[in-house]
Structure 1
Amino acid sequence: METAYSPKKAPHKVTPLPCPCMLWPAFPSSQNSLTLTSPKFGMRTMLQLRDTLTKEGPAFGYYPNPLKTWLVTKEGFHTIGSTTFHQTGVNVTPDGRPYLGSPIGSPGYMESFAESKVASWSALVTNLADIANTQPHAAYSALNHGLSSKWTYMCRTTPSRIMSQRLAPLDEALRKKLIPSLTGTPPPNDTEYTLFALPAREGGLGIRIPSKQATHEYNASLFVTSALCNHIIKQDTHYGQEIISESLMAKSTVGQQNRDRTKNDINTLTPLLSTNMQRSVNLSKEKGASSWLTTLPLKTHGFTLHKQAFRDALSLRYGWTPNKLPSKCACGSSFTVEHVLSCAKGGFPSIRHNEIRDLTADLLSEVCNNVCTEPELLPVTGENLAGASANIQPGARLDIAANGVWGGSFERTYFDVRVFNPHAASNRHTDPQTVYRKHEQIKKRAYEQRILDIEQASFSPLVLSATGGLAREATTFYKRLASMLASKWDQSYSSTLCWLRCRLTFSLLRSSIQAIRGSRSSSGHPFRSGAIDLVISETHLHQ
């Protein structure tokens, strides 16, 4: 029986609630389990329960409303139920009713309910696809942070034999309407659709295939709630630590099963991808590289992308060629993504580098003292620096210096930033971790001994890829920085580190998109005008 109640102080609000367990002691133990000897006896017991709720419920703030109370009977018992409850105002049906968003009742009712829900979800996805034509970032976030939870919940609470066979229209709406609107490309083939279904941290988009998730979600729900269900069936009012531990262990098991299933999907999918897409997906799987996808696109915090930028970001993620690119770069080379991310024409690599430098320096200023950018190093005056690649030039500068990063407030650390293009010809055929180590070693050979011997300080190279990955020492440093920021701001370390990675990823992503779409033709052209003092004098600007 589904019982609705109206709170005494808010009669307009109706909320479905289960029967309060404190009322069950009013019934003999033989009736508590509702193992009834005959339909008539069962109906009389339900009526007695309803009367007890009406009488005793207000003491617990429970006010049954008969007009919104439904009794769902099995087939053939509708007449007995209607006769028993005919003077109570309780609704009796042999079909079924939605309860907390899921159907209960006859198979026919559950099937029709599922079909109607799938039709409404498909319509919502179609509407979301229209929004995605102009606001793809917002539409993608609305899907993964809101809309998809509707069918995920129902897949968990409705038998998979009913759901999985009726989700095909929703699959089609996602594949043929929403995804093309998000990406600006034709509908994905089977391989791409499976790739997009992977979690963002595994190189996908997290757009799961509903018909494939139904069975897994329902079985997982049964497994996780089994301990609690058995507890309820036994009518045991003591909810102890044993039940909690069993439920937590079940959740952990389901999580591991999901990870194993994802790993198997990746192993099956990888050989089907092109070499270029395999490398792009591997780069997107680096820690923090997908945070721009999983965060909410809030303009206040600078985490939004307009429609062209969002689709360009997806193109970079999957090795696609962005739309409407010129055929030639301003430098005369062919205009390809691999080329423009490294082309110095227009100064975009320097802009990308300076974005990371300035962001890092600003954050260091929050928790360290004596922070400066581009500090000049002490000159080499007779010191013997080993290595032919050591930088001994006078006036040499690094990117950042700060006190108090690794030690006391007087212990100084120097940082030098390098952001490299993983798609460049010198990098794309090498394992990314090897490329990271190579660039770290280049920085260390150039500066580390000079910093240690002459500055008597420490040195940390900050090597990042243009796709959002970090080298080992950069990872260690940003974890340390997140820990210091979390302590000062009184926030959790994990949340602060996630926010920091997101800021770095958005800075790199916007810089890469600017390198693709930015103008290079006017870069380096001098401004031609008369002498500024003569112009001001003759035009009386000083007045």
Structure 2
Amino acid sequence: MKYITVTERPKQLMIVKEWLEMLIQEGPKWGYYPEPGKSVLVVKDNLSNEDSKFFNQLGIKIVKSHKFLGSVIGPDDSKDIYVEDKVKLWTEAVMKFSEAAKKSPQAVFAAFTKSLQCEWSFLQRVVESSSEKYVSLKDAIQTHLTPAIVGREISNTEHEIFSLPTKFGGLAIKNPVLTVENSFQTSKKAVQKLTQCIKNRAILNVDEHKLHVKTALKEERTIRQARDKEKSAQLISLLPEKKKRTLTRVVEGKASHWLNVIPTAADHYDLSPTQFRDALALRYGHEIPLSQRCDGCDLQMDMNHALNCKKGGLVKYGHDNLCDDGAQLAKLAFQCVNREPVIQEADGIHTPALIADVKIVGLWENGRTAFLDYRIINPDAPSYLSQNWSAISNRHAKEKHQKYDRAAEDVRCGFTPMVCSIDGVLHEEFKTVLTRLASVLADKFNGPRAIVP
């Protein structure tokens, strides 16, 4: 494909014609058989009859605008039409995603954030357009898709929060009207050296070009992160006290990684629609629709009661699932891992048996056993509302140490408490264990910690 400017058209046409004639003549000698019929010549104005006849004989299409590498070459009105057609196509796709989200919200969420919205993010980088072109797409996302994923109606403030990156409390469901403002200018700035070389017909210094691109993108990323962080703090401050407390804890505790994974069944990352929407409700402090009475104790049922009542079986079910997942992860890194190991036998009179949740041989030192015991906390229970997460988690970790340390030392073993919140915020010792597991797995699979399987 060749783009020809008005001022240099005669000279450029002659070069193109000579190049084509030579390619058609010499190409087969080297095993290359040109197919001019698959080529397109993009021009700014109409060609003369002689020029048109030459290119038409070869089957080359002569146009004023054409798609190229995901963008479009041509006048502004052609670009506007191209963007409008794309937005219409994406809007229809969003509506189909909305229907699918009713039954598979997690799969739709992953497909949208990691695939579909990346398509218009790319177009916004390579084609300059106004934000008005994306209004219909934004409306489809906020009116249909996001409520279908979350399973409830969403306020304007929540829509703004959801557009933020997950680490700042959002869902990374970007607003295309806002992203279009800086995308093209950032891309234009990044390829500035390449553009200058094309205009000046100069030789491109590839190393300088790569360094310039890297620097420009890094600067923009830093600015964007600072802007998102400030916006996150501002929006969270507008929430009711309960929701603000919950989301602040999630952001400060960096408990958003689960939203960034691909929901593969083989890794047990796939959640049922109810599990996924309940997890989102816990993340944003939203009440979950429940039955009026508790099945276990027959008291009034609400979300706090469901998370705290030990008679209904939900607390034990969640605790056992976490222990099983922790043991399964440990088995990937260590050979000797057991569930519910006995640290201290009961004496039959005064001292009950002391049983941990997981035993790992070699966790901290080769050949030495480490016992782990899990505890899941509801930090928004009425008794904890006057305390922050650090104080709550440290208190429970201290209780675990007081209960298990002496018995573990008696059998020459170590002990680590695994304390976390219902929304996935971890105590420091829990984080240390995961860091150790990641390091062992990285060494085992000979790769960096960030991409261990």
Instruction: Using structure 1 for the length normalisation, give the TM-score.
Output: 0.75
- 1:326 and 2:284 aligned: no
SS of corresponding position for 2:66: strand
Q: Tell me which residue corresponds to 1:191.
A: 157
Could you say if the C-alpha distance between residues 281 and 55 of structure 1 is closer, same or farther in structure 2, counting changes exceeding 3 Å? farther
Q: Tell me which residue corresponds to 1:118.
A: 87
SS of corresponding position for 2:400: helix
> What are the Cα deviations for residues 129-168 of structure 1, in whole angstroms up to 9, with x where unaligned?
1212222222222211221122111101001xx2422111
Matches of 2:265 and 2:335, distance apart in 1: 31
8 A Cα contact 1:78 1:92, kept in partner: no
Question: Which entry has the higher C-alpha Rg, 1 or 2?
Answer: 1
8 A Cα contact 1:40 1:80, kept in partner: no
Q: Tell me which residue corresponds to 2:113.
A: 144
- Cα offset, 1:358, TM superposition: 2.9
Matches of 1:57 and 1:210, distance apart in 2: 46
- Cα offset, 1:122, TM superposition: 0.8
**What letter matches 2:150 in structure 1?**
T
- Cα offset, 1:491, TM superposition: 4.7
> What are the Cα deviations for residues 267-323 of structure 1, in whole angstroms up to 9, with x where unaligned?
331222222222232343366633332222223332222333322222222222223
Q: Tell me which residue corresponds to 1:6.
A: none
Could you say if the C-alpha distance between residues 37 and 231 of structure 1 is closer, same or farther in structure 2, counting changes exceeding 3 Å? closer
Q: Tell me which residue corresponds to 1:307.
A: 273
Matches of 2:90 and 2:336, distance apart in 1: 56
**Bigger Cα displacement from structure 2, 307-316 vs 53-62:** 53-62
Aligned to 1:407, which of 365, 377, 393?
Answer: 365
8 A Cα contact 1:39 1:80, kept in partner: no
Matches of 2:72 and 2:329, distance apart in 1: 52
Q: Tell me which residue corresponds to 1:46.
A: 16
Matches of 1:448 and 1:199, distance apart in 2: 40
8 A Cα contact 2:379 2:385, kept in partner: yes
Aligned to 1:169, which of 136, 139, 162?
Answer: 136
- 1:447 and 2:417 aligned: no
Q: Tell me which residue corresponds to 2:354.
A: 396
Unmatched 5+ stretches in structure 1? 4-33, 382-391, 500-543
Q: Tell me which residue corresponds to 1:68.
A: 38
> What are the Cα deviations for residues 103-140 of structure 1, in whole angstroms up to 9, with x where unaligned?
21011111111111111111111111121222222222
Matches of 1:79 and 1:266, distance apart in 2: 61
Residue identity over aligned pairs, in percent, reads: 28
SS of corresponding position for 2:382: coil
Q: Tell me which residue corresponds to 1:208.
A: 174
- 1:354 and 2:312 aligned: no
Q: Tell me which residue corresponds to 2:437.
A: 481
- Cα offset, 1:210, TM superposition: 0.5
Matches of 1:228 and 1:120, distance apart in 2: 32
**What letter matches 2:190 in structure 1?**
V
Aligned to 1:226, which of 178, 192, 198?
Answer: 192
Q: Tell me which residue corresponds to 1:82.
A: 52
> What are the Cα deviations for residues 414-463 of structure 1, in whole angstroms up to 9, with x where unaligned?
222111112212234422222222211222233324433x2333221111
Matches of 2:278 and 2:142, distance apart in 1: 20
Aligned residues: 450
- Cα offset, 1:189, TM superposition: 2.9
- Bigger RCO (CA 8 Å, 6+ sep): 1
8 A Cα contact 2:341 2:359, kept in partner: yes
Q: Tell me which residue corresponds to 2:125.
A: 156
- Cα offset, 1:194, TM superposition: 0.8
> What are the Cα deviations for residues 495-529 of structure 1, in whole angstroms up to 9, with x where unaligned?
23xx6xxxxxxxxxxxxxxxxxxxxxxxxxxxxxx
Could you say if the C-alpha distance between residues 38 and 417 of structure 1 is closer, same or farther in structure 2, counting changes exceeding 3 Å? closer
> What are the Cα deviations for residues 21-78 of structure 1, in whole angstroms up to 9, with x where unaligned?
xxxxxxxxxxxxx899654333323323433444455677765433232222224667
8 A Cα contact 2:190 2:216, kept in partner: yes
Matches of 1:299 and 1:351, distance apart in 2: 20
- Cα offset, 1:480, TM superposition: 0.6
SS of corresponding position for 2:266: helix
Q: Tell me which residue corresponds to 1:217.
A: 183
Could you say if the C-alpha distance between residues 476 and 111 of structure 1 is closer, same or farther in structure 2, counting changes exceeding 3 Å? same
Q: Tell me which residue corresponds to 2:232.
A: 266
- Cα offset, 1:394, TM superposition: 5.2
**What letter matches 1:295 in structure 2?**
V
**Bigger Cα displacement from structure 2, 466-475 vs 279-288:** 279-288
8 A Cα contact 2:236 2:247, kept in partner: no
> What are the Cα deviations for residues 365-409 of structure 1, in whole angstroms up to 9, with x where unaligned?
45446543333335799xxxxxxxxxx945333333332111121
Matches of 2:434 and 2:84, distance apart in 1: 50
Could you say if the C-alpha distance between residues 253 and 345 of structure 1 is closer, same or farther in structure 2, counting changes exceeding 3 Å? same
SS of corresponding position for 1:377: strand
- 1:438 and 2:395 aligned: yes
Unmatched 5+ stretches in structure 2? none
**Bigger Cα displacement from structure 2, 271-280 vs 205-214:** 271-280
Q: Tell me which residue corresponds to 1:518.
A: none
Matches of 1:93 and 1:240, distance apart in 2: 32
8 A Cα contact 1:70 1:93, kept in partner: yes
Q: Tell me which residue corresponds to 1:537.
A: none
Matches of 2:247 and 2:49, distance apart in 1: 61
**What letter matches 1:475 in structure 2?**
K
